[in-house]
Structure 1
């Protein structure tokens, strides 16, 4: 056994600064519980009220009262036709008068797709009708699946792990050169290593706080935001715009991860002066240390992509920057407007501080995230081209896509207000 001189050991310890408190070791199981709890709470809060999943005592599903095809054209209930007869012939998919095919615009062409509303009484359709937020959870599972592919595709495209690692390191160094050695250096007056050093020198409480919220501001925080906005948005159209923007921002980032792998500052050689403050003592979060996580995906920052969308949504939701409000949307109080204004500004700044101080991203990563997010907002309706595929999938699964409950809270409040007003006038 070779003994190490004491002075060498002390020098090594002295070279490693105090990185602040690590994430709690319980993160590995607490954070998934937090995410699942948020999802269950969202399913409950955003459920369709007054709707029963099981069949009624008369043997007829209460869904019939919610569906436009539950009545005949003259407005009377149509009880004379057996619904199963409409499933007896495949030609009925595009010829049925009771369930006419849907018309979807796809790449400038009108596409006729199957109308799956005939499956509204199926048990799994009724579950979705009761808990429509399940559809949003399905969309985000697809996002996660595509994200996991970026790591494997990049390794294949760049000659395996070793070649990918060297290329990613070169890209990370290139970003530092662009920020601090090119003509653009006036835009980045503070170097990332100096920014981190400020926290590591006599501000350990702050870096401990940033270490512990690094993962919480990403997956759990984003899931909580989507759950809240599904409930609070004035209409599902408003919510869907935000969701499509975030999803398109995801896919823009996924494409860059695949073809421009970039090493985060924490993985660069020690000569660059960065320290990995988040991953200490095997207490890292499952969201930053799982096998599915792509460690060479610094550019652009998904953390800031989500934060920028969330902050912009808060600013819009405040109503300060909108002259016209949505249907049934009341004007918020001054206190509420200021609250969302401050939240919309501070939340992205907090996330930016977290990702740079912990050496997980460069300043330019956040700039790139702002650009891809802005473009995603302008082009978010591009996702409409997938509607025909969604219609076909619903037909294959024999399920009817539910009507969202977003905005119904405001409609109930408006109805209650008018009812009280009418009683007062009477």
Structure 2
């Protein structure tokens, strides 16, 4: 495949990357796996559903180490005070004083985490099939490495801290903004706050939209989404600021995995699945 450029219908140009980048020139099964292929809808639905089920199973199977989680929360809170960024309680109380705003944030926390992530996956599948597999790999690797954090560093959210004086906004306003509050708290590990996958996933969505969208307003919305999510997770007392940093680090790991596997970051791959060039015929032996 040459290094020519192809203008797409969205008005953006896709640079066809060399075989070495896409793995097109690789031999055997490994080379084929590292070459972007057209995703199959039935396989993607099955893979995403199975992967999320396994993620939830493992996350909730991590021992709920309450004592360690509360000690770690106290340590995080002291560290943030030393860094001068311990403003979570002030944000929590300020937003909680506006009922319609905090109720909206509770529902935001409960729903958009899934809706927008799935929406971006569908958009990639439909409009960027050549980049879909690499971007999906980055998301899966981000989510997978988060499980290590849940196991090694159990952490209570601010709303469960001893003497933290945070408001559990779901309990106060009787909304279902968190699987770890109210009647649903027994269905989810309450002490798996570090890293925040609300940030990991929303940042994945936002950066993907910013890198690939062709209209300016969509790119702006892409950047606003993780910023708004950061405000929501703090205002609802479900996470510390440093949990968000953990989510960012997980995303960096996921992007590195995709970069190593495909030889390029997802946005640098061709928008369409490259057509494999036929192997040159070998001249007959004399």
Change (3 A) 1:382 1:169: farther
Change (3 A) 1:290 1:133: farther
Moved more, 357-366 or 204-213: 204-213
| Residue aligning to 1:367 | 245
Given that 2:113 and 2:198 are in contact with CA atoms closer than 8 Å, whether structure 1 keeps it comes out as: yes
Pick aligned residue for 2:87 from 184, 187, 191? 191
1:207-356 counterparts in 2 under 5 A? 207-233=102-128, 236-269=129-162, 271-279=163-171, 283-284=175-176, 287-288=179-180, 289=184, 291-318=186-213, 332=214, 336=215, 338-356=216-234
Given that 1:276 and 1:358 are in contact with CA atoms closer than 8 Å, whether structure 2 keeps it comes out as: yes
Give the secondary-structure state (helix, strand or coil) at the position aligned to 1:216. Answer: helix
What TM-score comes out, normalization by structure 1 length?
A: 0.50
How big is the shift at 1:291? 4.6
Given that 2:93 and 2:167 are in contact with CA atoms closer than 8 Å, whether structure 1 keeps it comes out as: no
Give the secondary-structure state (helix, strand or coil) at the position aligned to 1:379. Answer: helix
Q: Structure 2 unaligned runs (5+)?
A: 1-26, 263-270, 274-286
- Please say if 1:139 is aligned against 2:47: yes
Given that 2:138 and 2:251 are in contact with CA atoms closer than 8 Å, whether structure 1 keeps it comes out as: yes
| Residue aligning to 2:266 | none
- Structure 1 stretches of 4+ with a deviation exceeding 6 A read none
Give the secondary-structure state (helix, strand or coil) at the position aligned to 2:121. Answer: helix
Cα distance in 1 for partners of 2:178, 2:254 equals 28
Given that 1:214 and 1:278 are in contact with CA atoms closer than 8 Å, whether structure 2 keeps it comes out as: no
Look at both structures and tell me which one has the larger radius of gyration over its CA atoms.
1
Given that 1:231 and 1:407 are in contact with CA atoms closer than 8 Å, whether structure 2 keeps it comes out as: no
| Residue aligning to 1:103 | 28
Give the secondary-structure state (helix, strand or coil) at the position aligned to 2:30. Answer: strand
Given that 2:106 and 2:177 are in contact with CA atoms closer than 8 Å, whether structure 1 keeps it comes out as: no
Given that 1:148 and 1:293 are in contact with CA atoms closer than 8 Å, whether structure 2 keeps it comes out as: no
| Residue aligning to 2:3 | none
RMSD: 2.9
Give the secondary-structure state (helix, strand or coil) at the position aligned to 1:104. Answer: helix
How big is the shift at 1:273? 1.4
Cα distance in 2 for partners of 1:261, 1:138 equals 30
